[in-house]
């Protein structure tokens, strides 16, 4: 198969494009002709050898990539929910081998879902990791309810753009933190209010929130507590020692006192059932894939550099065709 791979850690120039062995398939897995993937920040963190869970990363030659979107070409003996010809999308974590920067992907049946009707492979490839991170953060960690006031830090990025849409679709009143240049985009996605972090500090705005979803990781419960309502939840995508300790302590205290403000850390899980829930909102038009730029797979180095610049609005897609 054709794939982007690396044989050492380093900058984007360690990435190579060429032939690699097709992956073996287990009884509970599906083989997919992969048409598109996407670039996520953890890709270039893993590429450089600086991922916090680097011990879970496969050995060299390493094929990066979490998201995939393609057509089922083979199913394992224990697979019951998919068949040849199905159009599917999903994601893989490091412990599952990654390897979606390739035109052939093998993934667990439980890690994927059918692509919503009318959605292209390019659009679908931008959904799984980021939408699942936002869904699991807001629904499963913060337990969002209709009417909740939700602050999303980094609202114009991949995870943040889905966070805005999911929170709005579930009845939240969303305040988005991003730059002025992205105000129109996040407003269109469903933000009720936009805070330009260059001009205003949301910590000094006088507003209070039920949920703060930090997709950037520059804050903490200690910093955000004064703008978080009683029994509110601060959710971070960064499993730092500080956040993990705060999560354990506040979970324990909240079991005893209902007014405790909590820290939660979301570490995305590739759940096909969750992706199917997101797909329902895609099908009815409440969530869409926000794509900044599409790169051919042969230009993955440039795609990584662009992602690393932190200027992307929404998702960066890799086209396998």
Residues 6+ away with beta carbon under 8 Å from 267: 239
In terms of DSSP bridges, do strands 262-265 and 291-296 run parallel, antiparallel, or are they unpaired? unpaired
pLDDT given at position 246: 97
CA dihedral 163, 209, 284, 282 (to 10 degrees): 10
Burial class (CB in 10 A: 0-12, 13-18, 19+), 25: middle
How confident is the prediction along the chain (321 residues), in pLDDT tens digits per residue?
999 999 999 999 999 999 999 999 999 999 999 999 999 999 999 999 999 889 999 999 999 999 999 999 999 999 999 999 999 999 999 999 999 999 999 999 999 999 999 999 999 999 999 999 999 999 999 999 999 999 999 999 999 999 999 999 999 999 999 999 999 999 999 999 999 999 999 999 889 999 999 999 889 999 999 999 999 999 999 999 999 999 999 999 999 999 999 999 999 999 999 999 999 999 999 999 999 999 999 999 999 999 999 888 999 999 998
Q: What is the DSSP letter of 139?
A: I
Same fold, 2-127+289-319 and 130-265: no
Q: 2-127+289-319 architecture in CATH?
A: Alpha-Beta Complex (3.90)
Domain boundaries of the chain, sorted by first residue: 2-127+289-319, 130-265
Phi-psi region of 147 (alpha: psi -120 to 50; beta: other; left: phi over 0): left
pTM equals 0.96
The pLDDT score that the predictor gives to residue 311 is: 84
First-to-last alpha carbon distance for the chain, in angstroms, is 13
- pLDDT for the residue numbered 321: 85
May I ask the CATH architecture of the domain 130-265? 3-Layer(aba) Sandwich (3.40)
Q: Helices 128-135 and 272-283: crossing angle, nearest 10°? A: 100
Burial grade of 291 (CB within 10 A; 0-12, 13-18, 19 or more): buried
Cβ atoms of 164 and 190 within 8 Å: the answer is yes
């Amino acid at each position: 198969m054709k794939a982007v791979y690396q044989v050492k850690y380093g900058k984007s120039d360690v990435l190579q494009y060429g032939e690699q062995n097709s992956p073996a398939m287990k009884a509970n897995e599906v083989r997919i002709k992969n048409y598109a993937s996407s670039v996520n920040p953890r890709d270039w963190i893993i590429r450089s050898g600086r991922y916090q869970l680097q011990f879970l990363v496969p050995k060299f030659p390493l094929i990066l990539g979490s998201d995939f979107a393609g057509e089922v070409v083979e199913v394992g003996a224990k697979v019951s929910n998919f068949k040849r010809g199905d159009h599917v999308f999903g994601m893989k974590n490091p412990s599952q081998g990654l390897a979606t920067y390739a035109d052939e992907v093998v993934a667990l049946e439980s890690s994927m879902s059918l692509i919503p009707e009318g959605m292209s492979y390019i659009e679908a490839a931008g959904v799984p990791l980021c939408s699942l991170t936002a869904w699991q953060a807001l629904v499963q960690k913060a337990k969002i309810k209709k009417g909740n006031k939700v602050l999303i830090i980094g609202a114009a990025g991949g995870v943040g753009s889905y966070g805005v849409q999911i929170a709005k679709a579930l009845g939240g009143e969303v305040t988005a933190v991003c730059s002025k240049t992205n105000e129109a985009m996040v407003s269109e996605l469903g933000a009720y209010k936009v805070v330009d972090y260059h001009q205003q500090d949301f910590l000094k705005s006088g507003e209070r929130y039920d949920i703060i979803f930090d997709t950037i990781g520059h804050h903490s419960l200690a910093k955000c507590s004064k703008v978080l309502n009683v029994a509110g939840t601060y959710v971070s995508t960064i499993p730092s020692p500080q956040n993990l300790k705060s999560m354990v302590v506040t979970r324990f205290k909240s079991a005893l006192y209902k007014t405790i403000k909590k820290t939660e850390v979301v570490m995305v899980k590739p759940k096909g059932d969750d992706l199917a829930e997101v797909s329902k909102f895609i099908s009815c038009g409440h969530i869409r894939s926000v794509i900044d730029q599409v790169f051919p797979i042969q230009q993955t180095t440039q795609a990584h550099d662009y992602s690393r610049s932190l200027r992307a609005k929404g998702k960066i897609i890799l086209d396998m065709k």
